[in-house]
Amino acid sequence: MKKQELIHLHGLLAQVRNHYEQTEGETVDHESYTELGVRPTSIHRSKTEHKRAVFALARGITGEMTADEQPVSAAAD
């Protein structure tokens, strides 16, 4: 993945986190993401730093969503 694509993914995940927090009224754990100090707008940061930020953000989002997970029947829909 190119750096530009990774930065775009980083921005999209940040929007997903914001949307989830607004719609669900719950805060996503993003302490490890915040500690990195890399934001989608930090275009001067390295590709590796953005990759770490993307993974940290994704872990926080999925961790929160799986905590709220409810069983769904295979016959749903």
User: What phi and psi, each to the nearest 5 degrees, are found at residue 22?
Assistant: -75, -40
- pLDDT on residue 68: 65
- Mean residue pLDDT across the chain: 88
Q: What is the pLDDT confidence band of residue 24, given thresholds at 50, 70 and 90? A: confident
Spacing of C-alpha 59 from chain mean position: 7
Residue 9 near residue 52, CB atoms below 8 Å: no
* pTM, two decimal places: 0.80
Distance CA(54)–CA(15), nearest Å, equals: 12
Query: Domain 3-67 class?
Result: mainly alpha
Break the chain into its structural domains and give their ranges.
3-67
Residues 44-69 pLDDT 10s: 999 999 999 999 999 999 887 776 66
